[in-house]
Amino acid sequence: MAEPIKAEIFGSLPGGDVVEAFDLKGPAGLSARVITLGGIVTHLRAPDRRGDAADVVLGFNNLAGYLAPHPYFGAIAGRVAGRISQGRFQLDGREYSLACNDPPNHLHGGDRGFDKRLWNSEPLDRADGAASLRLSRLSADGEEGYPGNLRVSVIYTVTAANELVIETEATTDRPTPVNLTHHSYFNLAGEGSCSVESHQLQVFAGSYAPADAASGLTGRREPVTDNDLRTPKRLGDVIPNLRGRHGDLYFIDRAAPAGLVDVARLVDPASGRAMTVRSTETCVQFYTGVGLDGTLVGKSGRKYGPFAGLCLECEGFPDGVNRPELGNIVLRPGEVSRHTTVYAFSTL
């Protein structure tokens, strides 16, 4: 039987609440550190082809870093991850308006989304001995303008196959849009070491959701063009051709409506680290990290500039409450929303 994972104190919030940290270690070399603020993965260490581990996610060493403004490093984004156009939606005849915290749109749940909340923690005792942590919280009716008391949980597990598995679950007492994602910035060469332009990325998607200059979703679904990543491409060659060098929201190719499918594969040829992303979700937001401007200093004391890390955010169609034809994200009482996303590490 594996040792149960233990809480350490990561820091205290200004109001006095304690933020805990948990280390999830796998027997094959992958290890994750998760904190109860925002469900943030602060560290994720993965071996390279020689067996040397590096921390492959951007982040900070201390709580102060996470309490200051930062672009959702490692967090769980919600209640609705991604952008709701103009911060407005109608549901069952009622009009709702949300914070337009990424003008003119609502982004990642608003001014104080799930990434800035303290979650309850419960280490899980799994039959296979894998290190596993359940985080949960009640997002009260009216929080950030959303209707309904939403009970939400996220289970992080590090497996013997060097996978970080993220399982989400949500229930509500009133109809509400729900769209959760995990927002790590990956750099398979090790955080702070170089730009991800040297990485190769493959995304298993033949169509995407065009966005306007402010990244608002236009409500269309179109075949991929310059952003076609169905065959692996070096990011340094691709990024200049992307809208605002930002990356797009892709509709994941899937033969059946449900089940885990391959979403993306990221490779760092130099270290030999590879990451395969699988998910039950319908979409993935590839974000290049273009907005990193060198003002944030990360764990190793180095500045995070443009493309210091990239995100592969598996999620539903963020504006699905306004455009159900592209993917409905409304959860109703009596239903359970369940999703799984897997970040699987290997070497070549």
Which residues are catalytic, by number? 183, 313
Residue 313 binds ligand FUC, judged by CB under 6 A: yes
Q: Is 313 helix (H, G, I), strand (E, B) or coil?
A: strand
Complete DSSP assignment for 279-296: ESSSEEEEE--TT--S--
Is residue 347 within 8 Å of residue 188, measured between CB atoms? no
**Pairwise CA distance, residues 317 & 217, whole Å:** 10
Q: Which is nearer to ligand FUC, 22 or 307 (CB)?
A: 307
Stretch that binds ligand FUC, among 59-67, 110-118, 169-177, 283-291 (CB under 6 A): 283-291
**Pairwise CA distance, residues 268 & 266, whole Å:** 7
Closest residue to ligand FUC, Cβ-based?
71
Residue 311 binds ligand FUC, judged by CB under 6 A: yes
Q: Which is nearer to ligand FUC, 30 or 308 (CB)?
A: 308
Residue 180 binds ligand FUC, judged by CB under 6 A: no
36, 215, 280, 341: residue in contact with ligand FUC (rule CB under 6 A): 215
Residue 105 binds ligand FUC, judged by CB under 6 A: no
66, 72, 186, 304: residue in contact with ligand FUC (rule CB under 6 A): 72
Question: And the tokens for 178?
Answer: 């729900």
Minimal distance in Å, beta carbon 291 to ligand FUC? 5
Residue 38 binds ligand FUC, judged by CB under 6 A: no
Minimal distance in Å, beta carbon 292 to ligand FUC? 9
Stretch that binds ligand FUC, among 116-124, 160-168, 222-230, 284-292 (CB under 6 A): 284-292
244: Cβ contacts below 8 Å, ≥ 6 apart: 213, 215, 290
Residue 291 binds ligand FUC, judged by CB under 6 A: yes
- The amino acid at 75: A
Closest CA to 181 of 307, 263, 281, 329: 281
- The amino acid at 242: L
Q: Which is nearer to ligand FUC, 85 or 215 (CB)?
A: 215
Residue 109 binds ligand FUC, judged by CB under 6 A: no
**Pairwise CA distance, residues 87 & 101, whole Å:** 9
Q: Which is nearer to ligand FUC, 47 or 309 (CB)?
A: 309
Q: Is 65 helix (H, G, I), strand (E, B) or coil?
A: helix
Residue 209 binds ligand FUC, judged by CB under 6 A: no
Q: Is 66 helix (H, G, I), strand (E, B) or coil?
A: helix
Stretch that binds ligand FUC, among 165-173, 274-282, 285-293, 327-335 (CB under 6 A): 285-293
Complete DSSP assignment for 15-49: TSPEEEEEEEE-TTS-EEEEESBTT-EEEEEEE-T
Minimal distance in Å, beta carbon 271 to ligand FUC? 25
Q: Which is nearer to ligand FUC, 8 or 222 (CB)?
A: 222
Angle at 287 between CA 184 and CA 342, to 5 degrees: 45
Please tell me what DSSP assigns to residue 309.
S
Residue 317 — φ and ψ, nearest 5°?
-75, 115
Total of residues contacting ligand FUC (CB under 6 A): 8
Residue 163 — φ and ψ, nearest 5°?
-110, 140
Residues that bind ligand FUC (CB under 6 A): 71-72, 215, 285, 287, 291, 311, 313
